[in-house]
Chain A
């Protein structure tokens, strides 16, 4: 917005356009931020006791949910979902709620490491100028997209390396595997989208879609549709996984298959179902032997028969995900499970499999780097091909498995961190130039999956920056100006907002949008006010599944690295995810299945624990081929006796007082093994369990169930 268009003018406009409580936008450079005032001194647009609401985009993960933040005299008080946002329809997850504990976290990076921003910008400009373009690399998180676009433009114009994106969530979701499986089966890469709400029966092979998977809010909505659809009977949900996840806990049937046999089980069910239906046996299922599969997976053949019968009467939606894809044969598992959908003929149909819609300013599907691509990136750092590394929106020292050697490779590069929090990567960086918190930031995020409409979610500051931080986009624009030449030409913008306007303004000419406007300033104002822009046309891609049944899906037995006797299932903490550990209220949320707070635990079947002489709260050491970690034992009744599991999210060595020196990081156990799509085979290992010490009185896991009793019988017992 320009300076001619003042906030006061805008308020008049907003009053006309606002659907409910006026949701405001930040405005031109003169009044970009709402100032934080003492309570006795009000900003002009506030009256006593009245709150102001701003629409923006959540940055706790990359899904791109819309938020409306309640502010009061320049303070952000509460986040709610944006009811007009097609992705989350007014809802939020726990992490979205706790984002304020990031904004007002007592441990934020409060100023640039150079002391002032002028010298910080000079430092960045020097790096751009003095290194050869090919020696400069950007490593970015999966959000925000506007900064990714800005860096992409800069790289394209100057010959720098294009930005590489990575996030631990993307690694655990095995996005490269999902995309590659779609390419192999349908001839088109993309992020699959599964329409749970329209399905009658859902078979999920490890997909933790009610926790952190891809876009949990729309999948939760889909789950409700499965259970509550007004026009049909309550849908059935079957989960195949070795360790019952919080998602699996909602299933009608939990089938604890041996890790790595998910693909074989899917093909066996496909074969049995095809036999029940009669006719020619589809080639894709022909080579599998159900009796052998049942033996190998550790399930009853009768159970597979029973599951296959569901295909006769119902439309079954089969979803691959979670630890199943993080196996040595993860790509085959993804293909086998996707192929099962061909029996229901549900490709591109309600209750079936789609490829996600492309966002408004997106021309082709994109995904974060796989672990194999990250290994190549680390190799370039080690060899000296990369000399200056800029890191934004990701904490690779923590989020990449230690075995990839990223931390050691940092010795070879000049590291610039734009971290908001003092994370492990910032601790290693020569320069730390902190970006604002997401709620203090401008931006936009493309909605990658979860909604049939193409959505560009808009972000604006809901409060003025609390510390002496600066938007990384502004730093890069200013540094490019200083560096001059092709750098300055690549980013001819006054500031970040002007850059965003140039990108968002391009949508003005699109027909059938959620709103339109005659001039760019008004369009931008609406974009902020509504928290984004979306096309009103369904843009899900129907995949071509015509060749699937006669295709060829291999179904090899998985390979496991390491000597131990236990399969190892690492899973993303449903409450903390990869970056929630520094928010105290997220730490104090009980894990949905174990009710543990503030720590890391190892889930062991009670029978196995008995054999090993282990009890709750004993300390054990888990040893893999790549490393070892220590954590408390939690006797978990819903896990295979030959499997143990650990949540990912804790075990920080930095990242503020609430995260530091708390729990353990299972990623320290990961070896460097990839599946065929290049994703990390994080589930493909076997580990040893060694007892370190017995449980001690007063030391152990803090569990909510200590208040209510494990089986309910201890109600009222004092801990």
Chain B
């Protein structure tokens, strides 16, 4: 029996691929993207104690590190870290329940909540540490649930979750374009984080469309993809600048 090894394509070669460019030089670390993501995606807050145990549910976080010592100390450029929607995602093959699967149509890394049995293998295998696990049913007292976005599933205990590139917004834009008999236009919609970002440090769009803003930015300068050497084919390009 010969199992053909699937051909590994460059991230840009995938058709229908959504991607993101993040400019760390202008990211101010203000956390607007983190708040916007939480509001859009019904992400629960976990409280002080669970936050202290590293169980906070941020789908996007701003990383920063220190370099040097006083007085020559510097903070590294703020680094928004979110699911990189890998073209060859380490989280996918380890899921026994096929809850984290690849969408070939959109080249997105999907998380199917009602398949997830909570083994947490995917989170352990994610080199970016961007998956969050619902360790409890966290309390959101009335009337807070009035704010829930009806387009996004509310998750409960024992389920893994992560950034979806706001797939509900992608689908809504695609549905609208389809009903009008056209393609989705570049900039017609964007993810919650990119929409909120006061510094316009986050750009989202189609990376397979050379005309899109995100493609043009991605090929503009010295963009890097994090942990690219692992062969994960991330969809997010970072610019450090400076």
* Inter-chain contact B30/A94, CB cutoff 8 Å: yes
**A23, B40: Cα distance in complex, Å:** 19
- The reply to whether the CB of B74 lies closer than 8 angstroms to some CB of chain A is yes
Instruction: Find out whether the CB atom of B52 lies under 8 angstroms from the CB atom of A593.
Output: no
The distance from the CB of A19 to the nearest CB of chain B, in whole angstroms, is 14
Q: Whole-angstrom distance between the alpha carbons of A454 and B58 in the complex?
A: 38
A81 touches B35 (CB 8 A): no
Cα(A408)–Cα(B86), bound, Å: 60
Are A98 and B54 touching (Cβ within 8 A)? no
Residues of chain B at interface, number, CB under 8 A: 57
Whether A489 is near chain B, meaning CB under 8 Å from some CB there, is no
A585-B64 CB under 8 A given contacts A104-B144, A607-B70 = no
Instruction: Tell me if B62 counts as interface (CB < 8 A to partner A).
Output: yes
Q: Is A80 an interface residue (CB 8 A)?
A: yes
The minimal Cβ–Cβ distance linking A651 to chain B, given in whole angstroms, is 14
How many angstroms between the C-alpha atoms of A76 and B143 in the bound complex? 12
Q: Which residues of the other chain, B, contact A216 by a CB distance below 8 angstroms?
A: 30, 198
**Digit string of B33-77 for contact with A (CB within 8 Å is 1, else 0)?**
011101110000111110111101010011111100111011100
A701 within 8 A of B: yes
Closest Cβ of chain B to A696, distance in Å, is 12
CA distance A117 to B149 in the complex (A): 34
Interface string of A558-599 (1 = CB under 8 A from B): 000000000000000011000000001111111011010111
Q: In the complex, what distance in Å separates the CA atom of A101 from the CA atom of B145? A: 10
Instruction: Write out, one digit per residue, whether chain A residues 325-368 have a CB within 8 A of any chain B CB (1) or not (0).
Output: 00000000000000000000000000000000000000000000
Residues of A within 8 A of B66 (CB): 637-638, 710-711
* CB contact list, B154-204 vs A, under 8 A: 192, 195-200
B96 contacts the other chain (CB 8 A) = no
A250:B28 contact, CB within 8 angstroms: yes
CB nearest neighbor in B for A100: B147
Pick out which of these stretches binds chain B: A221-229, A275-283, A397-405.
A221-229
8 A Cβ contacts from B114-153 to A: 129, 141-150
Q: Which of B29, B61, B192 contacts A249 (CB 8 A)?
A: B29
* B26 at the binding interface (Cβ < 8 Å): yes
Q: Which residues of B contact A249 (CB under 8 A)?
A: 29, 64, 75, 78
Partner of A217 from B40, B52, B198 at Cβ < 8 Å: B198
Contact of A703 among B52, B58, B146, B196 (CB under 8 A): B52
The segment from A85-93, A163-171, A308-316 found at the interface with B is A85-93
Is there an interface contact between B52 and A91, defined as CB atoms closer than 8 Å? no
B32 close to chain A: CB less than 8 A? yes
Q: A227-B25, A719-B54 are in contact. Are A106 and B35 (CB under 8 A)?
A: no
Known contacts A105-B144, A228-B26, A593-B64; A79 and B39 CB within 8 A of each other: yes
Quick one: which of B45, B63, B195 contacts A588, CB cutoff 8 A? B45
A270 to chain B, nearest CB (A): 23
Whether A160 is near chain B, meaning CB under 8 Å from some CB there, is: no
The answer to whether A81 touches B61 (Cβ under 8 A) is: no
Least Cβ distance of A250 to chain B in Å?
6
- Asked if B93 lies at the interface with its beta carbon under 8 angstroms from chain A, I say no
Contact A254 B74 (CB under 8 A): yes
- The answer to whether the Cβ of B210 comes within 8 Å of any Cβ in the partner chain is no
Contact call A708/B34, Cβ cutoff below 8 A: no
Chain B's nearest CB lies how many Å from the CB of A211?
7
List, in ascending order, chain A residues with CB within 8 A of B61's CB: 590, 704, 707-708
> Which residue from chain A places its CB closest to the CB of B57 in the assembled complex?
A588
Complexed CA–CA distance, A592 and B76 (Å): 12
Contacts A220-B198, A638-B66; A592 near B31 (Cβ below 8 A)? yes
Interface assignment of B241: CB less than 8 Å from any CB of chain A = yes
Q: How far is the CA of A598 from the CA of B48 in the complex (A)?
A: 6
User: Which residues of B lie under 8 Å from residue A672 when comparing CB positions?
Assistant: none
Contact of B198 among A93, A101, A599 (CB under 8 A): A93
CB distance from B232 to the nearest CB of A (A): 16
Are the CB atoms of A702 and B48 closer together than 8 Å?
A: yes
The answer to whether the Cβ of A13 comes within 8 Å of any Cβ in the partner chain is: no
User: In the complex the two chains form, what is the Cα distance from A72 to B146 in whole Å?
Assistant: 10
Which residues from chain A contact B148 at a C-beta distance below 8 Å?
77
A585 to B148, CA, bound (A): 14
The residue in chain B whose Cβ has the minimal distance to the Cβ of A108 is: B143
User: Are A94 and B35 in touch, CB under 8 angstroms?
Assistant: yes
Question: How far does the alpha carbon of A26 sit from the alpha carbon of B131 in the complex, in Å?
Answer: 41
Q: Are A246 and B29 closer than 8 Å at their CB atoms?
A: yes
* A660 smallest CB distance to B (angstroms): 13
Contact of B147 among A92, A101, A244 (CB under 8 A): A101
B34 partner, pick from A94, A639, A702, beta carbons under 8 A? A94
- Distance (whole angstroms) from the CB of A481 to the closest CB of chain B: 33
Closest B residue, CB atoms, query A303 = B71
* Complex interface residues of chain A between 86 and 126 (CB less than 8 A to chain B): 88, 90-98, 100-101, 103-106
A residues within 8 A CB of B144? Answer: 101, 104-106, 584
| Chain A residue at minimum C-beta to C-beta distance from B78 | A592
A174 at the interface (CB under 8 A from B): no
| Nearest CB of chain A from residue B30's CB, rounded to whole Å | 6
A75 within 8 A of B: yes
On whether A712 and B146 interact (CB within 8 A), knowing A93-B32, A597-B56, the answer reads: no
Whole-angstrom distance from the CB of A659 to the nearest CB of chain B? Answer: 12
Check A588 against B56 for contact (C-beta < 8 Å): yes
Q: Any chain B CB within 8 A of the CB of A3?
A: no
Q: How far is the CB of A657 from chain B (nearest CB, A)?
A: 8
**Contacts A104-B143, A638-B73, A708-B129 hold; do A592 and B29 have CB atoms under 8 A apart?**
yes
CB-based nearest A residue for B72: A254
Inter-chain contact A586/B143, CB cutoff 8 Å: no
Contact for B35 among A76, A220, A589, A719, CB less than 8 A: A589
B53 touches A719 (CB 8 A): yes
What are 21 sample pairs from A and B whose C-beta atoms fall under 8 A apart? A76-B146, A81-B196, A88-B198, A97-B35, A101-B147, A104-B143, A106-B141, A106-B143, A223-B26, A584-B144, A585-B38, A589-B31, A589-B34, A637-B73, A641-B70, A704-B51, A708-B129, A710-B66, A718-B54, A719-B52, A719-B53
Contacts A91-B196, A606-B70, A704-B51 supplied; 11 other A-B pairs, CB < 8 Å: A78-B40, A92-B196, A95-B35, A97-B39, A220-B198, A224-B26, A574-B31, A590-B34, A592-B78, A702-B48, A706-B52
Residues on A facing B (Cβ under 8 Å) = 72, 75-81, 88, 90-98, 100-101, 103-106, 210-211, 216-217, 220-221, 223-224, 227-228, 234, 244, 246-247, 249-250, 252, 254, 256, 466, 574-575, 584-590, 592-593, 595, 597-599, 605-607, 637-641, 662, 700-704, 706-708, 710-712, 715-716, 718-719
Query: Considering the complex of A and B, which 3 residue pairs feature the smallest CB-CB distances, nearest first?
Result: A702-B52, A598-B48, A592-B29
